Amino acid sequence: MARKTTYRKTYSRKPAGRSFLSRLFRGLLLIFFGLLFIGIIYHYRKGLAYYLGFKTEKVLDEDAVDKHLSDVRNIRVLENHKGKVIGIDVSEFQGKVDWEEVEILDEKYPVQFVFIRATAGNDRVDRQFKRNWEGAKENKIMRGAYHYYRPNENSIEQADLFIKTVKLQKGDLPPVLDIERLPKNQPLDSLKKGLKRWLNKVEKHYQVRPIIYSGERYYSDFLKEEFSEYLFWIANYNFYREKIEDDWLFWQFTEKASLPGIKHRVDVNIYNGDLEQLHFITVE
């Protein structure tokens, strides 16, 4: 009779050193993320303190906290640019603005200029332009007008519409060309020629060189080199960016600010200089 053979299952043990290293690595990882979180809170402490009521002694409900948390970075940016001039830009998307109330941003930063959308493409006048244009003037806020450029429409017709709509006066800011989109059915060279035709016609009419508005990536990829003789107003809302670049005239750093007199969220901009320097670039 054959003897039954039994097999004993054996288990391999992990080396004690490897288990220790794994625990050590996990511990260090937790410490790293904990310190990173604390660092972020510390970095934005002024904005958090402001909006959670520690400095203002305001009691905010849950909805108000949620509404303003996106502005924590805004406070940080504004604190980094003391001495610079703060302004906004508006269009019909902000609804009817109560210009008598548009005065102070976050109870601390005076609004000293505004860019107002006047026209878009070759046939569109902003529904609130006239009201905004007159309201800013009456309330002594330095004003400027901008045109939203449509790449697939005739550039001269777009310039004519802007000139017909906007009557600049002494003390107004230079006209602005807002270009954000690429053409659908034409090469990039044709777009650039159209932009230059718009810029040249508007400059000839107002006797002042226009400013170009665009996003940072669009500016870097398509405009920076070929339009280097122009001053730029750049949009960048990235969380990591907290300082204006030296070669930017204006920086639109957020599109989600709250301001008395404006029901909807609004864009906020920083001028790369003081108030005296801003007056220097206005229409004479």
pLDDT of residue 18: 61
Q: Identify whether the C-beta of residue 160 lies closer than 8 Å to the C-beta of residue 130.
A: no
**189 tagged catalytic:** no
- Indicate which residue of 89, 172, 216, 267 is catalytic: 89
pLDDT of residue 28: 76
pLDDT tens track for 195-254: 999 999 999 999 999 999 999 999 999 999 999 999 999 999 998 898 999 999 999 999
Q: Phi-psi bin for 149: left (phi > 0), alpha (psi -120 to 50), beta?
A: beta
How far is residue 253's CA from residue 233's CA, in Å, rounded to a whole number?
Answer: 11
Task: Render the burial of 232-247: b for 16+ CB within 10 Å, e for the rest.
Answer: bbbbbbeeeeeebeee
How far is residue 279's CA from residue 223's CA, in Å, rounded to a whole number?
Answer: 26
Q: Identify whether the C-beta of residue 184 lies closer than 8 Å to the C-beta of residue 213.
A: no
Residues with Cβ within 8 Å of 19's Cβ and at least 6 positions away in sequence, in order, are: none
pLDDT of residue 4: 47
pLDDT of residue 228: 96
pLDDT of residue 23: 75
Q: What is the DSSP letter of 221?
A: I
Closest CA to 136 of 110, 100, 106, 108: 100
Paired residues of 235 in beta bridges? 215, 252
List alpha helices for 101-187, DSSP H. 129-138, 155-165
Reading the block at residue 100, the tokens are: 């008598």
- Helix 155-165 and helix 188-206: axis angle, to 10°? 30
- Indicate which residue of 66, 138, 180, 245 is catalytic: 180
Backbone angles phi, psi at 103, to 5 degrees: -140, -55
**89 tagged catalytic:** yes
For the chain, residues with pLDDT lower than 50 are 1-7, 9-12, 44-67
Task: Go through the domains of the chain in sequence order and give each one's CATH number.
Answer: 84-280 (3.20.20.80)
How far is residue 78's CA from residue 251's CA, in Å, rounded to a whole number?
Answer: 12
